[in-house]
Structure 1
Amino acid sequence: MHRPTTAEAEVAAELAEVRPGLASRYADELPGARSAVLSRLWRALAHEPLPWVTGRESVPEGLNLRLSDGRRLHGPRADPYRTADYADSVRLEGTAYDDPARLMTALGVAHGTPFVAELGHSVASLALSRAGRPDPSNEWPEEDWEWEQRVVDGHPFHPNCRSRPGFSVAEQLAYGPEHRPVVELGLWPVPAEECLLTGEWPAELRDGERLLLPVHPWQAAHVLKGRPERGLGGARPLMSLRTLALPGGPHVKTALSARLTSSVRDISVYSIALSATLSAFAESLAARTDGLLHFTRTLGAATADSPDLAAVLRESPREYAGPGERVVPVAALATTELPGRPGWSAAFARLALTVGLRLLELGVALEAHGQNLLVVLDERGEPLRLVYRDLADIRISPARLARHGIAMPELTGRIVTDDENALRRKLFGSLVAGALAGTTGSAAALGEALESAVREVPRTSDLAALCEDPLPAKALTLMRLSPRTPGDQWARLPNPLK
């Protein structure tokens, strides 16, 4: 019998207090949650450039890894683009491990202790998320936030797909989008002269000479240690948890200084300062895509000179849907059977590559993963055009813009680079190894969709690199185990087109 980890036992105990009706379903979901997180971890061990994995050997019954201390680790074949849960256990020196946290403990690698705790949280939170999901339905949701809340499992390739340390069970149920809550945001008053504000701030979020900054209730309780003067009710949390849809209005991105998956979700002063410039620049770029891409406009962004107290107001993507159309986050596509014709994945890949490569040629690399990228579907489910949101992590090349006679916006910092590898990694790692792989679900299916799509995409040097080189993907586990190495680190995955 499996002995529950600390995180599993803590969630079970809290659940018995706050939602006892879910307790038995939670227990039933734990084995599948362990397999889901272990599958993601095994993918990382098999494909990321981890310094303590010194050899990899494919064998008829799976994959063997040789570790720097001489030990051997055995598991199943590790398709880097597979999204199904497939690793029920792996064997370290003959001992079977079905729990990712216990496996990492046994591996004993440097900086592994925080990661072990997060893996435990990921399993427990994922089981909780699966326990509360409704019965599957192929009915199309009416509201945009309903699509977002269908994504129960989180990131398709990250071992910390549901890691929420610092969130109690009650808070996960109250704020996690997959639990479908309605949230009341706090409104935190700050004197306007103490704020950095870009764009327009609506009158309903002002109180005389003060700005009222929307604040997530978790942030108010745990970080700001105070109680807002008033609330803003009826908000529906979206896939990222910290971004919420306001009733009949825009989306609001709040600061949330908690570690979700790998990152602390605050809002940097840097991103607030650039938001209006980036939004205007993106609108000018959209005009160069023949109507195939829209960017959600940033309406206003404000910070009290702190990443812990800031908010961004954005257009809802539904603004770009016509009659009978739906705007669906790419990550939510796998949750619904689309009624479109055979070859849907190839048609979607062709649309996404056409847009992504065109912008890359012009000088802009989108971080087009399944959360940032949305697709507009017609009544039959056919992909028509794309919508992109959250410009904070795109990359812009002044040299490429200049080649096409496009004026460089007034931007500085990490967002600006002429490094071709960095530009290609940003787009290919998020769009191909992320959004498209997460939609197709395997190397064979991804290769088939890409092979059909690339025949109809205009030829560029970037397309040649996509077809010939290994496919870049963020080395998410390596990054989590490298606290002293800033920035992104990358794995080179087998190219599904070769």
Structure 2
Amino acid sequence: MDRVHLNPPPAADVAARADAHAVTPLLNCLLREVAEPHPGSGERLVYRLSGSGRLLRVRGERRPAEPEVRAAGAWQRIDHAELVKLVADELRRHTGTSNHELPAEMLDSREAVAALLAARARAVPPDDLYLRSEQSLLTGHPYHPAPKARGGGPVTAWLPYAPEAHARFPLTLLGLREDAVAEEGDSRALDALGEAPPGYRLLPAHPWQLDLVDLAPAFADGRLIRLGTTDCEAWPTAAIRTLYVPEHDLFLKFSLDVRITNDIRRLWRHDLLKLRRTDAAATAAFVTGRAAWLSDRGYRTAGFAFEELAVLVRDGFHGRLLPGTTPLLAAALVEGFEGSPLDGTADPAAWWEAYLGAVVPPALAAFAEHGVVLEAHLQNTLVAVDADGTPVQALFRDAEGVKLLPDVTRAAAWERLVYCLVVNHLVEVAGALAERHPPLNPWPAVRRELARHDLPEITGLLTAPTLPGKTNLLLRWTNADGADARYRPLPNPLART
């Protein structure tokens, strides 16, 4: 990680900013999942918490801040640590169950933000606008209680690999004995990263993952050998375990035995074994049109450490990105970064129509014409902009999150698509755009774009009073599987336009 010699920010400033970054997503979860609006006056919004009946008020609606609790006839300000205690108590009352793990994750997430803020003050952000967008997410998922938790490990273990700290690093190269190789699809791009001796195949590894697993027996008996590191550097993307190698225009996705948001981020065997079918279906859905699919075209691993050492090969941009355009992470448009076109557009209404025209049609066509349910949320969508910052193309990624009909029912598939594309994605970009460019109302344009598509579900989407909102707080509190999405009805802005 390159550094510049700047004066570090004062500790008090870092603490206050870390609290602010950590409080907002936790409040979003609490207010969405276990609270109801309560009559109040003034510039702050008041909510009644369902577990205890306590009143909580906050500043702001889309990104709530400065929480205060009503006690002894007065409003009392609480910080992040006190909010964690409040949330835990509410969830115990609401669910009747306890969870000692999640409060620790919430605190870990806040401490991680503090470490990232301090590191960013000394780091050089990438000049490349795409990489800058991937590495911009200091707050992260706006509706997760612990979006920046890093498994509770020491900062020194994970900070060198953190995208938010503008990290880049060489990959560790292993030699894997040929009789221990397990692979499927096209993994030949891995062989260009180095050279393996006779009888071995090249296996790149994430250095953080190697610190998390015990491979001593395999090194001792020669199934694995160390071959040094790559000559080039890899850049961690917002997904943390997915790295981009610009010199080879290649994405590599690794296992990380660390809980990040809802899941331990391991490449699970069952997902790898169904990868080819899922990726082939997604690839077929993007044969025509402007939009592109970044194919997860193959994997390589060790038979004796199938999940732990798996590396997935994903397409880069060559031949998929429209000439003269720059891809940007959709999530970064929401959180903001230096050079974001949301800040620079002179015509936000036209920009928004262009954005919708790039993102919505391919996602709906994949569902309607191919039975492919993209996980088209903010972190799996890239939007390519032209020299003026106007969106012209969408690129989708991550076959692991794709669902296929008829593996899931059409109703369940549509609910998932609506959550990912509309609630997680369009609602957030619309909110960010409207905040930067008042008095823009983004929803008539969304209605027009959706109404153009001949899908039987569209009428219901445009008229339903609610949309499905994922309940990440309750999901984690009850230790449900991360893929076992549960939804709470949210007011539908499309029906009110």
Q: Deviations over 1:286-342 (max 9, x none)?
A: 12xx52321112232123353222110111135423442101111122323314433
Counterpart for residue 36 of structure 1: 21
* Structure 2 contact 299–312 (Cα < 8 Å) conserved: yes
Structure 1 pair 147–444 and aligned structure 2 pair: CA distance change class (3 A) = closer
Q: Deviations over 1:54-111 (max 9, x none)?
A: x55343352231433x4413122773xx2x4x31123164573533343232443233
Instruction: Give the CA deviation at 1:25.
Output: 4.1
> How far apart, CA to CA, are the structure 1 residues paired with 2:132 and 2:292?
21
Counterpart for residue 413 of structure 2: 423
Match runs of 1:322-337 below 5 Å: 322-333=322-333, 334-335=336-337, 336-337=339-340
Residue in structure 1 matching 2:139, options 150, 153, 157? 153
Listed as ranges, the gaps of 5+ residues in structure 1 are 1-17, 399-415
Counterpart for residue 413 of structure 1: none
Counterpart for residue 359 of structure 1: 366
Counterpart for residue 264 of structure 1: 264
* Structure 2 contact 175–226 (Cα < 8 Å) conserved: yes
* Structure 1 contact 252–312 (Cα < 8 Å) conserved: yes
CA RMSD of aligned residues (A): 3.1
> How far apart, CA to CA, are the structure 2 residues paired with 1:92 and 1:117?
25
Instruction: Give the CA deviation at 1:180.
Output: 1.6
Count of aligned pairs: 451
Structure 1 pair 353–466 and aligned structure 2 pair: CA distance change class (3 A) = farther
TM-score (structure 1 length as normaliser)? 0.81
Instruction: Give the CA deviation at 1:370.
Output: 1.5
> How far apart, CA to CA, are the structure 2 residues paired with 1:209 and 1:133?
43
Instruction: Give the CA deviation at 1:254.
Output: 0.8
Three-state SS of the structure 2 residue aligned to 1:112 is coil
* Structure 1 contact 243–253 (Cα < 8 Å) conserved: yes
Aligned residue identity for 1:301: Y
Residue in structure 1 matching 2:226, options 229, 248, 261? 229
Percent identity of equivalent pairs: 25
Counterpart for residue 88 of structure 1: 66
TM-score (structure 2 length as normaliser)? 0.81
Structure 2 residue 172 is the aligned partner of structure 1 residue 186? yes
Structure 2 residue 391 is the aligned partner of structure 1 residue 380? no
Residue in structure 1 matching 2:478, options 479, 482, 488? 482
Aligned residue identity for 1:164: R
Structure 2 residue 30 is the aligned partner of structure 1 residue 45? yes
Match runs of 1:28-427 below 5 Å: 28-48=13-33, 50=34, 56-61=37-42, 62-68=45-51, 70-76=52-58, 79=61, 82=62, 84=63, 86-91=64-69, 93=71, 96=76, 98-106=78-86, 107-108=88-89, 109=92, 110-133=97-120, 141-142=127-128, 144-202=130-188, 203-204=191-192, 207-224=197-214, 226=216, 229-230=226-227, 231-232=229-230, 233-249=232-248, 250-287=250-287, 290-305=288-303, 306-317=306-317, 319-333=319-333, 334-335=336-337, 336-338=339-341, 339-340=344-345, 341-343=347-349, 344-362=351-369, 363-398=371-406, 416-420=407-411, 422-427=412-417
* Structure 2 contact 296–399 (Cα < 8 Å) conserved: no
Structure 1 pair 171–27 and aligned structure 2 pair: CA distance change class (3 A) = farther
Three-state SS of the structure 1 residue aligned to 2:399 is coil
Q: Deviations over 1:436-475 (max 9, x none)?
A: 2332336977993232132143242222232223121221
* Structure 1 contact 357–463 (Cα < 8 Å) conserved: no
* Structure 2 contact 168–234 (Cα < 8 Å) conserved: yes
* Structure 2 contact 56–67 (Cα < 8 Å) conserved: no
| Segment drifting more, 365-374 vs 92-101 | 92-101
> How far apart, CA to CA, are the structure 2 residues paired with 1:22 and 1:308?
40
Aligned residue identity for 2:295: R
Structure 1 pair 444–184 and aligned structure 2 pair: CA distance change class (3 A) = closer
Listed as ranges, the gaps of 5+ residues in structure 2 are 220-224
Counterpart for residue 222 of structure 2: none
Three-state SS of the structure 2 residue aligned to 1:276 is helix
